[in-house]
Amino acid sequence: MAQNELVFASLGGIGEIGMNLAIYGFGEDWRRQWIIVDCGVSFASEEQLPGIDLILPDIRYLIEERKNILGLVLTHGHEDHMGALIDLWPRLKVPIHATPFTAALFEARRASEIGAPEIPVQVVPLDGHLSIGPFAIDFINVAHSIPESNALAIRTPAGTILHTGDWKIDPTPLLGGPTDAAKLSALGEAGVLALVGDSTNAIRDGRSPSEADVAKTLGELIRTAPRRVAVTTFASHVGRLRAVADAARAAGREVVVVGRAMERVVQVARETGYLDGVQEFRGVDSYDYLPPEKVVALCTGSQGEPRAALARIAEDEHPDVALSRGDRVIFSARPIPGNEKAIARVINGLVSQGVEVITDRTHLVHVSGHPRRDELRDMIGWVRPKILIPAHGEPLHLAEHAELARRAGVPQVLVCRNGDLVRLSPGPAEIVDQLPSGRLYKDGALVIAAEARTVAARRRLSFSGVVSVAIAVNDKGALLADPEIELIGLPESDAGGTPLLEVARRAVEATFETRRRDPDEVAESLRRAVRGAIAERWGKKPICHVHVLVV
Ligand SMILES: [Zn+2]
Ligand SMILES: [Zn+2]
């Protein structure tokens, strides 16, 4: 007789940091019911993926299984957990569940996107409970770098899973309660089948410092600043915004919010009570009127994003905010891997203007929101899972988390990859199937398949440019006018000073002598000739298009 199985798969977020999307299924394998946990994005680097803004998980499998999906639960409001929803939800239309701040932040993001569809979100109270089909889900508060991060205890008739989401142990987190050790221990007491957990900082020993330590440093740095101070951090890090605001108040300074993403989060945080008791912030238009020693600017752009406030300030191109010699900029954030160069560009721009730049290289102005090794051991100790699956990490992080778990005595540790379908019960955990998985790209307003030739072509274009040739012939194959040739993205002339346009023209004329009749053959022979002639002079082969018009 077929048995009810409990299965897990990740369609994003395992083997990479970003694009988190996990699914849990329960039932006989031909009629499983599913829940989705999170639906996030990754950020693309311009060099690797020219013109691509975001990377989204490929949800082909979920679209196929749509009628069996009972709902989607968001652990918290970071983009790597909910950033793909606006684009992908219309293809799924499943109910979304989230705690109040996450729901409000999602709605604010959605409303800011032109043409985004209405997307209903059902609000779950803090420490709340949700029953969806065979899944009974408890939200457990964990400390992180955004309000309302939740671990999910997912109870099923085949056992309980703890999906940690993003977490750390911070006894003094500034916002919200600390990680709920009592609830996690009680869960362990009752028995946990599997723990699917955050591996981001699994290579770092010890414990991450507290947000309160960062607040102290920020207070000191703002108090002792001789002139203007600008602080940049992740817009959604409301605890940090609060720390900056408190430091500003203590130093007799006003806070000016610079950047749309920051304004949006501040508004959501006000509405949901996370800035209660914090002074009103000033709009960017008041920046000019405040004396230098009376202002702290809270800016977007901690990742070096070229269009964000700080990058524009560093280029001296911001319409409202300028910094000058003797001002102080604090980077209260760490580079997300891939952003180092962009951040260095911003820092160098600021330093060139005589601005003092302070980063976490020299001061405790940032701490991670993810658990280091001692914290991972604490979690395992509380929960005592039979199975542990490392998630939310690159291969190295997953391997280190796995090794740590084995040493901590977890009986079964399974490192898997995106698309692996893992049976958690019955029997020992094992990979039993492969689900279609992969990536989608957000390209302008469209979502395209990663396999599409668009991006590969764009990369080739950026490497070697295009030669475009157009000729008109009559039905006897005779040339009717001079060929039209255009070079895009090629050098003007070769080492000897001959224009490459001339090189292309000669190649066309020399090859055309053959007087072929078939326009496709003519086009192909010209294409090869032009490409070859250019390559001989240049050492690189451009993309070459030939249009033959028969008149
Ligand atoms: Zn995350
Ligand atoms: Zn997070």
DSSP string for residues in 356-409: EEE-TTTS-----SS--HHHHHHHHHHH--SEEEEESB-HHHHHHHHHHHHHTT
> What's the confidence (pLDDT) of residue 213?
97
User: What is the whole-number distance in angstroms between the Cα of residue 17 and the centre of ligand 2?
Assistant: 10
> What's the confidence (pLDDT) of residue 351?
97
Nearest ligand to the CA atom of 19: 1
Identify the CA nearest to 10 among candidates 25, 19, 28, 23. 23
User: What is the whole-number distance in angstroms between the Cα of residue 466 and the centre of ligand 1?
Assistant: 40
> What's the confidence (pLDDT) of residue 520?
87
Residue 257: C-alpha distances to residues 105, 118, 123 (Å) = 17, 28, 28
User: How far is residue 43's CA from residue 50's CA, in Å, rounded to a whole number?
Assistant: 12
User: What is the whole-number distance in angstroms between the Cα of residue 1 and the centre of ligand 2?
Assistant: 42
User: What is the whole-number distance in angstroms between the Cα of residue 295 and the centre of ligand 1?
Assistant: 32
> What's the confidence (pLDDT) of residue 47?
74
> What's the confidence (pLDDT) of residue 43?
85
User: What is the whole-number distance in angstroms between the Cα of residue 280 and the centre of ligand 1?
Assistant: 30
Rounded to the nearest 10 degrees, how much is the dihedral formed by the CA atoms of 173, 236, 322, 287?
-80
Do 156 and 144 meet the contact criterion of CB atoms below 8 Å apart? no
User: How far is residue 292's CA from residue 226's CA, in Å, rounded to a whole number?
Assistant: 8
User: What is the whole-number distance in angstroms between the Cα of residue 198 and the centre of ligand 2?
Assistant: 10
User: What is the whole-number distance in angstroms between the Cα of residue 166 and the centre of ligand 2?
Assistant: 5
User: What is the whole-number distance in angstroms between the Cα of residue 180 and the centre of ligand 2?
Assistant: 17
> What's the confidence (pLDDT) of residue 476?
80
Do 22 and 435 meet the contact criterion of CB atoms below 8 Å apart? no
Q: pTM to 2 decimals? A: 0.92
* Residues within 5 A (CB) of ion ligand 2: 78, 166
Nearest ligand to the CA atom of 20: 1
Residues of the chain with pLDDT under 70: 1-2, 513-516
User: What is the whole-number distance in angstroms between the Cα of residue 81 and the centre of ligand 1?
Assistant: 6
> What's the confidence (pLDDT) of residue 284?
94
Identify the CA nearest to 278 among candidates 309, 239, 227, 329. 239
User: What is the whole-number distance in angstroms between the Cα of residue 98 and the centre of ligand 2?
Assistant: 14
Nearest ligand to the CA atom of 12: 1
